[in-house]
Amino acid sequence: MSRSPSRDAWVGTPLLLASAIAYSSAGFYTRLIEVDAWTMLFWRGLFAGLFLVGMVAVRERGRIVSAVRAIGCDGLLIALCSALATVCFLNALKLSTVADVMVIDATIPFVTAGFAWLILGEREDQITLLATLAALAGVAVMAGPAIAGGRLLGDLFTFAMVVLMSMVLVLIRRNPSVSMIPALGLSAFLCSLIVLPFAHPLSISGQSFGLLALFGTSQFGLGLLLLALGTPLVSATRGALIGTLQTPLAALWVWLAFSEAPAIATLIGGAIVMAAVVADVALPRRLIPHLP
């Protein structure tokens, strides 16, 4: 029985919107938990990995080893690219400005569109490309007041992250019949392993431990789970475009939780990003066929 591209899109789009919402809570948790960054990342990755292993066990009725074997070489590459993207992101934040990182990160849909065309032969809809351009402009507006202080090395790390995450999205899209949840779970464990030499896992309090468990499961683990479920159902570029919602939503949660009022540029740019995503979802267009 053939699958309907329109039905897949209407299922995949809410899943990716929910993934962006989950990812956007990172700023909320990092302000709430009083733990050094490396230790926080260690526990976040560990709890996310355990959460995803649990999801695989439920979905596959305990056949975890078989599910891991099914991801193949593409799954291993997804795990490696995802973990390396996290490392690049951390180094980018240390070596460049947050503004530069935000703007370069917003180019993910364009890079994804290029990879999707080269690897999958997937030609993106003009409406999605225009919405992607609008979202990039919105992020640029948000970051504009602080963009002058960037550094080249940090920007290069950010662009490497963009390339790696674009590859993750395209490789998941290339294997729509294979669950890549195990691959993303493996990437979470790899993140913990990478930061372990710099972390102090046993130095946390009981309260921080509970918050870190929530951080790992509800932000990183749930975000990865929904990404794995939604990405095969929509075009790779649209999936990346929806992911840009993380930027304005992150500012919104911090504003609501900690009364950190965003700048006018953040409000204007965030509104542009949200409008671009809504327009892409709502406007009629030529459907992109689902990959076999």
Q: Confirm whether pTM is higher than 0.75.
A: yes
What is the DSSP code string of 244-266?
TTHHHHHHHHHHHHH--PPPHHH
Determine the pLDDT at residue 267: 84
pLDDT at 99 (0 to 100) = 65
pLDDT score, position 290:
44
Record the tokens describing residue 187, joined without a space. Answer: 């990437």
Q: Identify residue 234 by its one-letter amino acid code.
A: V
What's CA 159's distance to the chain center, in Å? 15
Q: What is the pLDDT of residues 34-77, one digit of tens each?
A: 888 889 889 999 999 999 999 999 998 888 999 999 999 999 99
pLDDT for the residue 151: 66
Distance CA 109, CA 138 (A): 14
Report phi then psi at 288, rounded to 5. -90, 120
Q: Which residues of the chain have pLDDT under 50?
A: 1-2, 287-292
Map out the domains of the chain as residue ranges.
5-124+148-235
Q: What is the DSSP letter of 24?
A: T
Distance CA 193, CA 37 (A): 14
**Residue bearing tokens 């993106």:** 124
Contact status, residue 139 vs residue 63, Cβ threshold 8 Å? no
DSSP H or E segment with residue 289: none
Contact between 82 and 180 under an 8 Å Cβ cutoff? The reply is no
Q: Can you give the pLDDT at residue 280?
A: 84
DSSP structural state of residue 60:
T
